[in-house]
Amino acid sequence: MLKYTLSRLLTFIPTFIGVTLISFSFIRALPGDPIVVMAGERGLSDERYAELATQYGFDQPIYMQFWDYLTGVLQGDLGTSFVTKRPVWDEFFTLFPATLELSICAMIFAIALGLPAGIIAAVNRGKFLDRALMSTALVGYSMPIFWWALLLIIVFSGNLGWTPVSGRIDLLYYFPNATGFMLIDSVASGQSGAFTSAVRHLLLPTIVLGTIPLAVIARQTRSAMLEVLGEDYIRTARAKGMSPGRINGVHALRNAMIPVITVIGLSVGTLLAGAILTETIFSWPGIGKWMVDSIFRRDYPVVQGGLLLIAVMVMIVNLTVDMLYGVINPKIRKR
Amino acid sequence: MDDALSAEAEMVHARPGRLREFWFYFRENRGAVIGLVIFVIFAILAVFGPWIAPHSATQQYRADTLVPPFWLEGGSYKYILGTDPLGRDMLSRLIVGARFSFFVGIVVVTVAASGGILIGLIAGFAPRWLDAIIMRIMDIILAFPSLLLALVLVAILGPSLVNAMIAIAIVLQPHYVRLTRASVLSERQKDYVTSARVAGAGLMRLMFVTVLPNCLAPIIVQAALSFSTAILDAAALGFLGMGAQPPTPEWGTMLAEAREFILRAWWVVTFPGLAILVTVLAINLMGDGLRDALDPKLKRS
């Protein structure tokens, strides 16, 4: 197990350097001189230009710039935003809880509905229920989520007036964000109605972001269950007269969970891509919206730092999934 | 008479052709056949769209802005699905828009698959160090969420449909590399490859003639799936303003243009998205059918 862990960790290092290199060089490839963009419409004198170029290290050769960037990154310095003049690192971690809260809720929504749907479909293989569930899952899987978001807004915000269209909470409520998680902070603030407001704001974005993972989990659970249900030990259990509930729930489900956990882990990348669209549509102040806004504002340090942080996060999650996989399934370690 | 009989006998005994066998299994899956039918309609619209559409896709009927679909009050058969805020016929724009999505799918899949297969073949046959380098590069690309990477690439290249396609192709390509390499590695150890090598087949022949055809089944399934991913991603980029630019009737771009009217005129928002959903759904249904028909494990003997 130690050897497996070490070898997985070793592949992390070149990938990390590569990801840094990519996010670094992308920004250099963007059209437009970053200093001119930063100066805005006022323009700037030649001396000031040279001064800024030195300050940001643009007068150095490109490999020195990369080295400075890489060493900066390792010390937690990702540069400062052109627009807000705040460190990218601080901005990221101010906004990150919003994305995390939304993603966790979406994942809970997806697992809570996807797992039972997949199990029910597998147990009723070929029957009407199976077909209905799997057709629905395929529709969910094919869903353009930006359109799905607009549809939900039309129905629930427009026609029924149940949910708000944007933001995380009504402007009525104000309290310090101690944890950054609106659900927790609103309860801690003790203001009546704050929690309800937070939940109502969270509802539609959660459904939108959770739809594709939900469909993927349901499909994966069904096929994993079907595979396990065909195994000999299940037949043995059946022959011993074990109740179907126990066979499906204990014997089959536990082994079927291995591929399902992988899929859940791999959904993190999908979730972040989905967060870009979901947050933009619902004006959710998280990482996805921040990245899109920064790309449009040509806020290079933010795009560069955000890309890197997001990629590293995906990598860490994938690594964790691999490790978990090794723990659950001993066969993998031995390879 | 004798000739006819023996010909008939031959037909009965002959092993069905590959295509025929494929169709036999594909046809079993009703969803896949429905998907295929919708896809064919979609392809016909993509090719002949401007001749089928009742109106021009860019003609603005200034007197008839935001006309509802014909079954609602105020609607007329002149504009079956209503008109958009600029008075353009929705149905015509949707029909003409099919070609953009179709084009995106074809180009992206062709570029991503041919590049990915080539790199995957090289990685599978290369010495270990080169293989390791190639796979690390693919890991790096896969570490970025695809839509985000495509968005930044388009920001670099400038927003347009062609650049969106290039970006999506780059993002989808590593999946083909991984898939091809994995099947090459498992095929390479089989006896028929060894015997071909002993018989004196060169590296090129081994790669493209001996091994590649036996790796194609999963790649074909992946191609169908990434066709729909490409359409979805291109529409998402269009929706974010980074894909096709107005007045192009691309479905995602149409949605972006219609966003501010969602509470006043539901049809300008509903139909383009429905078009995307139906197309993607049809392709995914086909993909499922392809997988079942091509995967020997799932075939009923």
The whole-number pLDDT of residue B278 equals: 93
Assess whether pLDDT exceeds 70 at residue B189: yes
Contact B144 A314 (CB under 8 A): yes
Query: Are the C-beta atoms of A271 and A214 separated by less than 8 Å?
Result: no
Phi and psi at B201, nearest 5°, equal -70, 135
Which residues of chain B are within 8 Å of residue A18 when distances are taken between CB atoms? 136-137, 139-140
Assess whether pLDDT exceeds 50 at residue B266: yes
Which residues of chain A are within 8 Å of residue B262 when distances are taken between CB atoms? 150, 153-154, 158
Q: Are residues A122 and A271 in the same domain?
A: yes
Assess whether pLDDT exceeds 90 at residue B261: no
Closest approach of chain B CAs to the CA of A274, in angstroms?
8
Q: Are residues A138 and A284 in the same domain?
A: yes
Residue A48: partners with Cβ closer than 8 Å, 6 or more residues away: A39
Give the whole-number percent of chain A exceeding pLDDT 90.
Answer: 12
Closest approach of chain A CAs to the CA of B286, in angstroms?
12
Q: Are residues A166 and A315 in the same domain?
A: no
Return d(Cα B81, Cα B91) in angstroms, integer.
Answer: 6
Query: Are the C-beta atoms of A259 and A220 separated by less than 8 Å?
Result: yes
Q: Is B29 on the interface with A (CB under 8 A)?
A: no
In a domain, A89, yes or no: no
Q: Are residues A40 and A135 in the same domain?
A: no
The interface pTM score, or ipTM, of the predicted complex is 0.83
Contact B273 A150 (CB under 8 A): yes
Answer positive or negative: Cα dihedral of A311, A313, A317, A323: positive
Query: Are the C-beta atoms of A317 and A240 separated by less than 8 Å?
Result: no
Return d(Cα B205, Cα B236) in angstroms, integer.
Answer: 41
Which residues of chain A are within 8 Å of residue B171 when distances are taken between CB atoms? none
Q: Is A313 on the interface with B (CB under 8 A)?
A: no
Amino acid at A142: S
In a domain, A125, yes or no: yes
Return d(Cα A184, Cα A169) in angstroms, integer.
Answer: 12
In a domain, A27, yes or no: yes
Query: Following CA atoms A257, A259, A265, A271 in sequence, which dihedral angle do they give, to the nearest 10 degrees?
Result: -100
Confidence of residue B301 (pLDDT cuts 50, 70, 90): very low
Closest approach of chain A CAs to the CA of B231, in angstroms?
10
Query: Are the C-beta atoms of B113 and B219 separated by less than 8 Å?
Result: yes
Residue A220: partners with Cβ closer than 8 Å, 6 or more residues away: A118, A259, A260, A263
Which residues of chain B are within 8 Å of residue A142 when distances are taken between CB atoms? 228, 232, 277, 280-281, 284
Return d(Cα A226, Cα A118) in angstroms, integer.
Answer: 10
Nearest to B146 among A154, A273, A277 (CB): A273
Closest approach of chain B CAs to the CA of A3, in angstroms?
18
The whole-number pLDDT of residue A283 equals: 87
For the stretch A70-75, contacts whose Cβ atoms lie closer than 8 Å and that sit 24 or more positions apart, written own/partner, are: A70/A17, A70/A20, A70/A24, A73/A20, A73/A308
Which residues of chain A are within 8 Å of residue B239 when distances are taken between CB atoms? 146, 277
In a domain, A173, yes or no: yes
Q: Are residues A200 and A75 in the same domain?
A: no
Please write the tens of the pLDDT for every residue from A191-216. 777 778 888 888 899 999 999 999 99
Range of the domain at A15: 1-83+297-327+331-335
Return d(Cα B28, Cα B20) in angstroms, integer.
Answer: 13
Contact A292 B240 (CB under 8 A): yes
Q: Are residues A22 and A43 in the same domain?
A: yes
Assess whether pLDDT exceeds 60 at residue B299: no
Considering only CA atoms, which of B49, B58, B47 is closest in space to residue B95?
A: B49
Which residues of chain A are within 8 Å of residue B142 when distances are taken between CB atoms? 269
Return d(Cα B74, Cα B265) in angstroms, integer.
Answer: 13
Please write the tens of the pLDDT for every residue from A258-299. 778 777 877 777 788 788 889 988 888 889 899 988 888 878
Beta-strand runs (E) in B108-243: none
Q: Give the mutation candidate from B42, B101, B152 for the A interface (greatest A CB count, under 10 A).
A: B152
What average pLDDT does this structure show over A13-42? 75
Of A151-155, A245-249, B93-97, B200-204, the range with the lowest mean pLDDT is: A245-249
Return d(Cα B293, Cα B299) in angstroms, integer.
Answer: 7
What average pLDDT does this structure show over B191-195? 87
Q: Are residues A205 and A273 in the same domain?
A: yes
Contact A144 B236 (CB under 8 A): yes
* Mean of the per-residue pLDDT values of chain A: 82
Question: Residue holding tokens 């839509």?
Answer: B147
Please write the tens of the pLDDT for every residue from A214-237. 999 998 889 888 888 888 888 888
Map residue B83 onto helix, strand or coil: strand
Instruction: Count structural domains, chain A.
Output: 2
Q: Are residues A214 and A79 in the same domain?
A: no
DSSP H or E segment with residue B287: helix B266-294
CA nearest A14 in B: which residue?
B136
Greatest mean pLDDT among A243-247, B1-5, B62-66, B163-167: B163-167
Alpha helices in B207-250 (DSSP H): 212-239
Alpha carbon distances (Å) from B119 to B115, B179, B194, B197: 6, 11, 22, 21
Please write the tens of the pLDDT for every residue from A117-176. 998 998 888 889 998 999 999 999 999 998 999 889 888 888 887 878 777 777 777 776
Residue B38: partners with Cβ closer than 8 Å, 6 or more residues away: B278, B279, B281, B282
Q: Is B229 on the interface with A (CB under 8 A)?
A: no
The whole-number pLDDT of residue B297 equals: 56
Nearest to B152 among A147, A273, A307 (CB): A307
Return d(Cα B60, Cα A279) in angstroms, integer.
Answer: 33
Which residues of chain A are within 8 Å of residue B148 when distances are taken between CB atoms? 272-273, 276, 291, 307, 310
Looking at chain B from residue 256 to 275, which residues have their Cβ under 8 Å from any Cβ of chain A? 259, 262-263, 266, 269-270, 272-274
Which residues of chain A are within 8 Å of residue B137 when distances are taken between CB atoms? 18
Return d(Cα B30, Cα A135) in angstroms, integer.
Answer: 12
Question: Residue holding tokens 């039918």?
Answer: B37
Assess whether pLDDT exceeds 50 at residue B1: no
* CATH code: domain of residue A265: 1.10.3720.10
In a domain, A92, yes or no: no
Q: Are residues A286 and A307 in the same domain?
A: no
CA nearest A318 in B: which residue?
B143
Q: Are residues A237 and A207 in the same domain?
A: yes
Nearest to A269 among B136, B145, B277 (CB): B145
- The string of DSSP letters for A67-90 reads HHHHHHHHTT---B-TTT-SBHHH
Rounded to a whole number, what is the distance in angstroms from the first to the last CA of chain B? Answer: 35
Question: For chain A, how long is the longest CA-to-CA vector?
Answer: 87
Return d(Cα B199, Cα A238) in angstroms, integer.
Answer: 52
As given in the structure block, the two tokens for residue A15 are 């990938």
Closest approach of chain A CAs to the CA of B264, in angstroms?
9
Of A104-108, B135-139, B294-298, the range with the lowest mean pLDDT is: B294-298
Return d(Cα B226, Cα A127) in angstroms, integer.
Answer: 30
Assess whether pLDDT exceeds 60 at residue A94: yes
Amino acid at B132: A
Considering only CA atoms, which of B231, B108, B104, B112 is closest in space to residue B178?
A: B112
Q: Are residues A113 and A169 in the same domain?
A: yes
Chain centroid offset of residue B6 CA: 44
- The string of DSSP letters for A252-308 reads IHHHHHHHHHHHHHHHHHHHHHHHHHHHHHTT--SHHHHHHHHHHHT-HHHHHHHHH
In a domain, A129, yes or no: yes
Left (φ > 0), alpha (ψ -120 to 50) or beta: where does A180 sit? left
Phi and psi at A163, nearest 5°, equal -125, 150
Return d(Cα A178, Cα A188) in angstroms, integer.
Answer: 9
Q: Are residues A31 and A167 in the same domain?
A: no
Query: Are the C-beta atoms of A141 and A219 separated by less than 8 Å?
Result: yes
* Mean of the per-residue pLDDT values of chain B: 83
Pick the CATH number of B38-298 from 1.20.120.340, 1.10.3720.10, 3.30.365.10, 3.30.420.130: 1.10.3720.10
Map residue A192 onto helix, strand or coil: coil
Rg from Cα positions in chain B: 24
DSSP A153: I
Query: Between A55 and B289, where is the model more confident?
Result: B289
What average pLDDT does this structure show over B24-36? 82
Q: Is A223 on the interface with B (CB under 8 A)?
A: no
Please write the tens of the pLDDT for every residue from B72-91. 777 777 777 777 878 788 88
In a domain, A247, yes or no: yes
Looking at chain B from residue 127 to 166, which residues have their Cβ under 8 Å from any Cβ of chain A? 136-137, 139-140, 142-148, 151-153, 155-156, 158
